[in-house]
């Protein structure tokens, strides 16, 4: 009898495991926001410089897609939430919403506009739509380190208003090198990369600056991946 009960218990556990594997996977968590003011203005981009395209009433509920900015000790106008609005993404100042997830835990989906010395958005940016939605185009690469080339030339789309671009090359272990340019073309130089071999990823970000010092550059959009390339071990001491 004990033997039969043991077999029956094993059958139940096995069946449960099979049904659990074949069941519908749980949907990802949806982040929501609740309007906490009488009216919350909805804008086309994450900045008060963008035009408002609508309003949401108090206690209105929205689905949150992402964020721009970070929260440290207080709301200061630089924290924004991307929401679904009328079937398209739009932005609301984060202080106007109570979110189901802490602000800094929401995935970043945009960046704040740069500011000049007067605190204004620099001339040249097209604010008729979210600036980073305008940054589209092809990413290309020519050259091959495996074929003996010592330089790779990469191209990427330009963004109206940006005046410098940074190509960030990431090694297999995460070491980063930056190759900067003021045009849509940059060169990745072999001798400036780490020694390690493997698959490297190159990504690009547009910046705006009025200074020659890199630490004064203001990043306009999140990094976009341009592609990958292979690199051999270049450690001269191994030879």
Coil, strand, or helix at residue 41?
strand
Say what the pLDDT of residue 237 is. 86
Q: Phi-psi category of 78—alpha, beta or left, where left has phi over 0 and alpha has psi -120 to 50?
A: alpha
Q: Across all residues in the chain, what is the average pLDDT? A: 90
With tokens 């290309």, the residue in question is 140
Residue that wins the pLDDT comparison between 29 and 153: 153
Helix (H, G, I), strand (E, B) or coil at 59: coil
pLDDT value for 238: 77
C-alpha distances in Å from residue 170, one per residue of 39, 64, 208, 226, 235 = 44, 30, 23, 12, 17
Query: What pLDDT is stored for residue 20 in this prediction?
Result: 34
Tell me what percent of the residues of the chain surpass a pLDDT of 90. Answer: 85
Return the residue matching tokens 């991946």: 225
The answer on pLDDT for 12 being more than 70 is: no
Alpha-carbon gap, residue 7 to 90, rounded angstroms: 58
Q: Tell me: pLDDT of 18 over 70.
A: no
Domains of the chain by start residue, with CATH: 31-105 (2.30.30.40), 131-234 (2.60.40.10)
Residue 22: the pLDDT is 39
Rounded Cα gap, residues 197 and 207, in angstroms: 30
List phi, psi (to 5°) of 192.
Answer: -90, 0
Measured CA to CA in angstroms, residue 226 lies from 121, 138, 157, 212 at distances of 27, 8, 10, 25
Q: Which residue has the higher pLDDT, 14 or 81?
A: 81
Q: What is the DSSP letter of 117?
A: T
- Nearest to residue 49, comparing CAs of 129, 135, 104, 117? 129
Reply yes or no on whether the pLDDT at 17 is more than 90: no
> What span, in angstroms and rounded, lies between the C-alpha atoms of 185 and 2?
76
Predicted pLDDT of residue 13: 39
d(CA 207, CA 209): 7
Confidence of residue 28 (pLDDT cuts 50, 70, 90): low
Checking phi first, is residue 216 left (phi over 0); if not, alpha (psi -120 to 50) or beta?
A: alpha
pLDDT digits (tens, 9 = 90+) for 79-131: 999 999 999 999 999 999 999 999 999 999 999 999 999 999 999 999 999 99
DSSP 8-class letter at 145: G
């Amino acid at each position: 009898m004990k033997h039969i009960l043991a077999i029956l218990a094993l059958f139940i556990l096995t069946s449960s495991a099979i049904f659990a594997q074949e069941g519908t996977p749980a949907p990802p968590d949806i982040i929501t926001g609740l309007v906490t003011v009488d009216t919350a203005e909805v804008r086309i981009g994450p900045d008060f410089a963008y035009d408002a395209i609508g309003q949401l009433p108090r206690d209105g509920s929205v689905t949150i897609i992402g964020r721009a900015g970070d929260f440290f000790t207080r709301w200061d106008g630089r924290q924004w939430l991307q929401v679904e609005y009328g079937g398209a993404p739009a932005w609301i100042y984060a202080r106007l919403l109570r979110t189901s997830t802490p602000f800094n835990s929401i995935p970043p989906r945009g960046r704040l506009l740069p500011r000049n010395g007067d605190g204004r958005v620099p001339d040249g940016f097209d604010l008729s739509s979210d600036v980073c939605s305008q940054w589209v185009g092809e990413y290309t690469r020519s050259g091959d380190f495996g074929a003996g080339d010592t330089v790779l030339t990469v191209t990427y789309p330009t963004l109206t208003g940006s005046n410098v671009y940074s190509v960030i090359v990431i090694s297999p272990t995460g070491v980063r090198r930056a190759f900067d340019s003021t045009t849509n073309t940059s060169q990745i130089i072999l001798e400036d990369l780490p020694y390690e071999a493997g698959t490297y990823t190159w990504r690009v970000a547009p910046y705006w600056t009025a200074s020659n010092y890199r630490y004064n550059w203001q990043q306009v959009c999140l990094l976009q991946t341009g592609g990958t390339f292979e690199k051999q071990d270049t450690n001269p001491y191994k030879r």
